[in-house]
Amino acid sequence: MGIIETVEQELKQSGAAVTSIGKSVCGNEILCAHRGEYSGKQIIVTAAIHARECYTALAVLRQLRDFHAERGGAYFVPLVNPDGAAFFESGSTFGHEFLRTNAHMRKAWKANADGVDLNCNFDANFGTGAQQSRTAPAAHGYIGEYPLCAPESRALAGFTSSIGPAATVSYHCMGGELYWQFFQDEARRQRDGAFAAAVAKHIGVQKVDGELSSAGGYKDWCVQKLGIPAVTIELIKRGNHPFGPSDYDDDITANADLPMFILDYLYGENYV
């Protein structure tokens, strides 16, 4: 069973409220499930915005199964880039010509079906990141013609704005690191840094400070446009791409209760 089918089946069997936040370039639904109360603080957890990191979705599916917070709720979007994920995993192109002509690149693929790197396509210092390109569609690093030109990033941004979450988590791979900074003012830097430190300690990864070379990422956009704490978590501490599902087993376990931990933290008396 492929990753698209796995996500669809797990969401269907979860008993959670499942909706689509939009469609991909090739018409695949970008599915979202909600657990907990709709009132109170909400968080959004996303994964697989990069094709070759599609099995990060398995960590989110585990969180969905285990979720039992007493207050607030969580939205889970396990597969932001379904076209890219299926292309990486099996070579499926859905009849899309650009993917077909780049079949030799599929194991290195991070972009969507149009060659846009979705995590460079958000409206947050767009086009200023290191190792990003304006020139042409590619396996990774192409920012797109303009912010949110890709249907997947546009859908995620619109959905996130409609929810107004208290915090977001984005899963990537690899490095065993957590990124959180994006030009916050001093007060928010203190707040977000404390949040990031707590999350990093809870799941056993390294909190990275002072890294400001990214731009156009979902985390960047959440910090800059919504003013909320947002983290990018890089699973798998070491190794080489491509990774398979079993390579994520330890991280899936370590992150299983993270949404509940975050909601408890956000409701804590020391969080402002």
Give residue limits of the domains in the chain: 3-107+151-266
When pLDDT is averaged across residues 47-67 and rounded to a whole number, the result is 98
Cβ neighbours of residue 103 closer than 8 Å, sequence gap 6 or more: 91, 93
Q: Would you state the pLDDT for residue 222?
A: 98
Q: Would you state the pLDDT for residue 270?
A: 77
As given in the structure block, the two tokens for residue 77 are 């979007």
As given in the structure block, the two tokens for residue 143 are 């920012």
**What does pTM read for this prediction?**
0.97
Q: Would you state the pLDDT for residue 135?
A: 79
Give the closest residue to 194 by CA, choosing from 258, 94, 268, 254: 268
| CATH architecture for the domain at 3-107+151-266 | 3-Layer(aba) Sandwich (3.40)
3-class secondary-structure state, position 262: helix
Q: Would you state the pLDDT for residue 269?
A: 81
pLDDT exceeds 90 at position 23: yes
- Give the position of tokens 């707590």: 198
- Amino acid identity of residue 241, one-letter, is H
